[in-house]
Amino acid sequence: MHWMTRAPDVSPIAEPAAPLRPIWARWRGRLILSALLFVLVGVGYWHSTKPLPPGTRVASPWTQVPARDVRLLIDLTAADAYGRPVVQQQIFDEALRVIREARRFIVLDQFLFNAHRGALDEAGSVQGAAPLRPLSRELRDALIDARREQPQLRVLMITDPINDVYGGAPSPDLAMLRTAGVDVVVTNLDRLRDANPLYSSVWRVAIDWWSGDGAGPGWLPNPLDAGPTQVTFRAWARLLNLKANHRKVLIADDGGTGIVGMVGSANPHDASSAHSNLALQVRGPALLPLLQSELDLARFSGWRGEPIQPDIAPASLALGAGPGTADTNPGNSVSVRTLTEGAIRDAIIEQVNASTAGDQIEIAMFYLSERGIINALLAAAARGTTIRLVLDPNRDAFGHEKNGIPNRPVASEIASRSDGAIRLRWYRTHGEQFHTKLFMLRQPTRVWFTLGSANLTRRNVGDFNLEANLAVESPQGTAIALDLERYFETLWNNRGPSGVEYTADFGTFADPAQASYWSYRLMEATGLSSF
């Protein structure tokens, strides 16, 4: 008999339990990350939707103006059959004349005002295009001479911090103007809404409070010039907010008791001097709302000067008057109003939506990408409105070649979705840009148009950038209506001097690639773009 012994049960000795970490310690990282994301989302939302500062989103009442007091100014650069530049420039020639004749005040708001030339070839032009004109020096010297000859003349220059490279490279032109007694105001862009909150919220939370104004010795390349100047990280950090005071405005007395102004798309910037542009010159009290907008802008940017009040009776303003209501002979007058920022978009969409079969819409534009305007144009074409577009091919940028976004994928979308009903042509650039910003609706008895600084993009007409346009409603047959019709038909039908071809067929630069289209849509929606 075998006896089997059973080993006694031996229970293992339990390891002592690890002490429980406090809940806050276990969740600390997640709580910090969640709090940071909450702060960034909140900051991004607030600064992309916050109330606009004074002087912005202006949609002034209509004011009646004698038709003779509204004038179209044209800068146009093309090439002849031999590739030689053919240049017409009126805008700054007239601006310099207005400055010379002023006796009491001059107010300017200029986006690009510097001598930076980008990437240049040996001839000193952008990729062999028209020779560059020293516009910044011409304007600077004209203002200094005006102050010297008329010591009582008050001059206010409002500009964008890009001209100081956001503090990284102080502008010698602005310094000389200050020395001459000009009130120079650099726009406080922090008061504007943020177009790209994905970056700007991080900048406001983590960079702005310690980075200062961008001044000091730098180690990064100057984003505006290919020269040896270097700028700070702080300057680049401010640049990447991608917003601007993009206005191009000049208002002055006319040497007597009147007021004259110019609003357009041209910058007093050497590298931009060969661009094609349009400007509108207007005389009279229709300019007062725009002048007030500029003074408000200067105030919220730190200007403490005495108010500038032109000697014009307020009763001369036809406040609240609609087009054609203030003159028994409408053919002798047109109606003018100021539009800025998002009011430009609203007014254009209103006109597009009111168009019907038999009406004509013509657009000449540097950038077209705003979805509301694009959809309104497609709907108008479906109703039978004739629509023609002349667009820049978005290939030239101060000596650098671009990829065609946004215009090429947008144009391809418009042509496809309208089944060819919307017709498009490209301006033939040769290193310069077709920088014009014109929208025009022609109807059997009237013409409505707006031009100025605003591209038709989310950034430009979505209350992010500062923009200034004038809108005009005119009977058919006035000088300004005929000049605009002649201008557009010249481009569309290549009716220039012998051998000059202004525009090319749509297929020349069309880009139907889905990658380009969705890149544009992402950039437009997020604000992570330069357009």
Q: pLDDT tens digits for 467-515?
A: 999 999 999 999 999 999 999 999 999 988 878 999 999 999 999 999 9
Q: Are 431 and 127 within 8 A, CB to CB?
A: yes
CA dihedral 272, 281, 428, 467 (to 10 degrees): 60
Whether residue 26 is predicted with pLDDT greater than 80 in this model: the reply is no
pTM: predicted TM-score of the whole model, two decimal places: 0.90
What DSSP character marks residue 12?
Answer: P
Structure tokens at 263: 């609003």
Q: Are 367 and 406 within 8 A, CB to CB?
A: yes
Q: Which residue in 504, 507, 519 sits closest to 403, CA to CA?
A: 519
Q: pLDDT tens digits for 115-136?
A: 987 665 444 554 456 789 999 9
Report the distance separating Cα 235 and Cα 215, nearest Å.
7
* Average pLDDT of the segment spanning 507-524: 94
pLDDT reported for residue 272: 94
For 183-187, 190-194, 484-488, 493-497, which range has the lowest pLDDT when averaged over its residues?
Answer: 493-497
Q: Are 497 and 76 within 8 A, CB to CB?
A: no
Q: Are 147 and 279 within 8 A, CB to CB?
A: no
* Average pLDDT of the segment spanning 408-432: 96
Q: Say which CATH architecture domain 332-526 belongs to.
A: 2-Layer Sandwich (3.30)
Q: Which helix (H) or strand (E) holds 253?
A: strand 248-253
CA 321 centroid distance within chain: 29
Q: Do domains 63-289 and 332-526 have the same CATH topology?
A: yes
What is the edge-to-edge ordering of all strands in the sheet holding 85-89? 85-89, 70-79, 277-283, 259-264, 248-253, 105-110, 154-159, 183-186
Q: How far is CA 403 from CA 18, 470, 507, in A?
A: 61, 31, 16
Report the distance separating Cα 477 and Cα 445, nearest Å.
9
Domain boundaries, the chain: 63-289, 332-526
Q: pLDDT tens digits for 295-305?
A: 999 999 999 99
Q: Are 199 and 192 within 8 A, CB to CB?
A: no
Q: What is the CB neighbour count within 10 angstroms for residue 32?
A: 10
Q: Which residue in 487, 530, 246 sits closest to 367, CA to CA?
A: 530
Q: What is the CB neighbour count within 10 angstroms for residue 464?
A: 24
Whether the CA torsion 498, 500, 502, 508 is positive or negative: it is positive
CA 71 centroid distance within chain: 22
At 475 the three-state DSSP class reads strand
Report the distance separating Cα 32 and Cα 50, nearest Å.
26
The C-alpha angle with vertex 253 and arms to 189 and 343, in degrees rounded to 5, equals 40
Q: Say which CATH architecture domain 63-289 belongs to.
A: 2-Layer Sandwich (3.30)
Q: Share the mean pLDDT of the chain.
A: 89
